[in-house]
A and B are shown apart, each in its own frame.
Chain A
Amino acid sequence: MSFLSATGMTCGYGGADIIHDCTITVEQGEIAVVVGPNGAGKSTAMKAVFGMLDLREGTVTLNGKDISKLAPQDRVPQGMAFVPQNRNVFVSLTVEENLEMGAFIREDTEIEDTKEQVFALFPILAEKRNQPAGELSGGQRQQVAVGRALMTRPDLLMLDEPTAGVSPIVMDELFDKILEIAKTGVAILMVEQNARQALEIADHGFVMVQGRNRFTDTGEALLANEEVRRSFLGG
């Protein structure tokens, strides 16, 4: 069984189901990417994995443990960290305070070390540590958001469109950082609009269409797949 294994997820926002029998898996140290057209249910699948939506069917297991019934905040201590697409930093708190809030649930004494690791990964944050996060640029905010999530020392990092609204250069930088994070053994699951670039760094890709898994393969294979390219990657 995979490290994260979300199988047969069916759920929606109250009324009709948005995703149907959807399966997403990630291994430790790997990057899994969920791509697909607008409205395919990518973000919904992400929310379902994190417990922000109640599953009607299906299970989510992390490291072999069934967490399907846990509330989102109870999944954080289990090793999950989630970076939402919007409103993912505390705008009135400084960069450093944002990171401290990320470590809120931790009781150990090594919080400072983790903070230094995050600063080492994102040097710009060390520079701006005393600035309110709301004053930073979009790309820097994303770094704060990812940094805050890393402060819990997660085993699984979930990113909902981390590159939404940032420039292509910043996007490349962010992808580089995400690769670096994966190399430390963290499992990474992300939803991406920039499907081609995301699949290039992905170990596994999940192509979703209308709330269902359409293609599941390695990133490389999906990029090489004629149908995927024609339908979802613009040729």
Chain B
Amino acid sequence: MEVLNALALFANFVVVPATAYGAQLALGALGVTIIFGILKFANFSHGELMSFGTMITILVTWGLQGMGVSIAPLPTALLALPIGILAAIGMALLTDRMVFRFYRRQRSNPIVFAIVSVGVMFVLAGLIRIIIGPADQSFADGQRFIIGAFESRDLLGLDEGIAIKQSQVITVVVALVVVTWLFWFLQKTRSGKAMRAYSDDEDLALLCGINPERVVMIAWIIAASLAAIAGTLYGLDKTYKPFIFLQILLPIFAATILGGIGQPIGAILGAFIVAFSEVMVTYAFKKFLAYLGPEGWAPDGLVQLLSTDYKFAVSFIILVAVLLIRPTGIIRGKVI
């Protein structure tokens, strides 16, 4: 019984939130991976692209809420998401046309592209702050919990319940659908195969008659869609704060590099490892251990490895460790 309570506690505070967080990171990391695979640079503006797509989704959500449109119990944001995706795609294609294409024609070094993307990141971040401001925005509505803590406690007959938020379920379901579609697209369709071929060898792809500009365009469309979806899911699950999208770059890049750069499956794997590490390292295991230890005993401290304020340090440590020990990542990817 005590063991089950400990497991329920662990599931409630670690497994469920980390799974949802991992799914959000995976969508973000996949976007970075796609751009790296096709355009061969680390796109630092990806976080702000997520933010931009989310911002538009929020604005549309507010509009819909104002008109009284609702798809309760689902959050209205899901209805607004397609517009957010389109806006993110538009912004990605615009920045490509106005900025990245110039450097592509110059055949610039990847490091130049990466620095340019930092510039794009700052411009986008400024734009977002002008439009929606730097403050927290709440836009989640609909049902909050699929199953609440008390409900599940009674259902399981335990002292500890497993609360599952609706946003967490939506996150995982949407991520599954999107990732399945993405892999189907890359593996089975003509355009998807052409993208993999282009990623593999640009010159040979050119000899096969694959149009590079078209491949680049599809890559941006996919990356921007993933960004808007990931950002909106993150915002629904937690909250929307513009500055968070600079911080979230770190776990996203850690996931991308840990999984193997340019490897979509690696990005997903890396995302979940990063998410679980982050949540586990910052979780206070006191109560968990108290359940497992002898009756009436509890550890003196919180048994928390790191304060939650330092959660980004976890990604940083993972990033450094991977680069030192296995720079190719789990699934052998390219080395930066």
Binding site for B on A (CB under 8 A): 72-73, 76-77, 82, 84, 87-93, 97, 100-102, 104-105, 148, 152
- The answer on a CB contact under 8 Å between A87 and B204 is yes
Take A97-B193, A101-B194, A104-B194 as given contacts and tell me if A72 and B204 are in contact as well, using a CB distance cutoff of 8 Å. Answer: no
Take A100-B193, A101-B193, A104-B194 as given contacts and tell me if A91 and B200 are in contact as well, using a CB distance cutoff of 8 Å. Answer: yes
Min CB gap B33→A, angstroms: 14
- The answer on a CB contact under 8 Å between B201 and A87 is yes
B127 contacts partner chain A, Cβ-Cβ < 8 Å: no
B169-197, CB < 8 A from A: 190, 193-194, 196-197
List 29 A-B residue pairs with CB atoms under 8 Å apart, sorted by A's residue number. Answer: A72-B206, A72-B207, A73-B207, A77-B209, A84-B203, A87-B201, A87-B203, A87-B204, A88-B204, A90-B196, A90-B197, A90-B201, A90-B205, A92-B196, A92-B199, A93-B193, A97-B193, A100-B193, A101-B193, A101-B194, A101-B197, A101-B205, A101-B208, A104-B194, A104-B208, A104-B209, A104-B210, A105-B208, A152-B209
Q: Is the interface of A mostly helix, strand, loop or mixed?
A: loop
- The answer on a CB contact under 8 Å between B200 and A90 is yes
- Chain A contacts of B205 at CB under 8 A? 90, 101
Residue of A nearest to B262 (CB): A92
Min CB gap B221→A, angstroms: 20
- Chain A contacts of B203 at CB under 8 A? 84, 87
Min CB gap A126→B, angstroms: 19
- Chain B contacts of A90 at CB under 8 A? 196-197, 200-201, 204-205
How many chain B residues sit at the interface, stated as a range, is: 10 to 19
**Given the complex of chains A and B, what is the CA–CA distance between A72 and B200 in angstroms?**
19
- Chain A contacts of B209 at CB under 8 A? 73, 76-77, 104-105, 152
Binding site for A on B (CB under 8 A): 190, 193-194, 196-197, 199-201, 203-210
- Chain A contacts of B194 at CB under 8 A? 101, 104
- Chain A contacts of B208 at CB under 8 A? 76, 101-102, 104-105, 148
Min CB gap B254→A, angstroms: 24
- Chain A contacts of B197 at CB under 8 A? 90, 93, 97, 101
- Chain B contacts of A87 at CB under 8 A? 201, 203-204
- Chain B contacts of A105 at CB under 8 A? 208-209
**Given the complex of chains A and B, what is the CA–CA distance between A88 and B200 in angstroms?**
11
- Chain A contacts of B199 at CB under 8 A? 92
**Given the complex of chains A and B, what is the CA–CA distance between A100 and B191 in angstroms?**
11
Residue of B nearest to A98 (CB): B197
- The answer on a CB contact under 8 Å between B200 and A92 is yes
Given contacts A73-B206, A101-B205, A101-B208, 12 further A-B contacts (CB under 8 A): A73-B209, A76-B209, A77-B209, A87-B201, A88-B204, A90-B201, A92-B199, A93-B200, A101-B197, A101-B210, A104-B194, A152-B209
- Interface pairs A-B: 3 shortest CB-CB: A105-B209, A90-B200, A101-B197
- The answer on a CB contact under 8 Å between B206 and A93 is no
Min CB gap A127→B, angstroms: 21
**Given the complex of chains A and B, what is the CA–CA distance between A91 and B262 in angstroms?**
14
**Given the complex of chains A and B, what is the CA–CA distance between A77 and B209 in angstroms?**
8
- Chain B contacts of A91 at CB under 8 A? 200-201
Residue of B nearest to A80 (CB): B207
Take A87-B201, A90-B201 as given contacts and tell me if A76 and B207 are in contact as well, using a CB distance cutoff of 8 Å. Answer: yes
**Given the complex of chains A and B, what is the CA–CA distance between A104 and B211 in angstroms?**
10
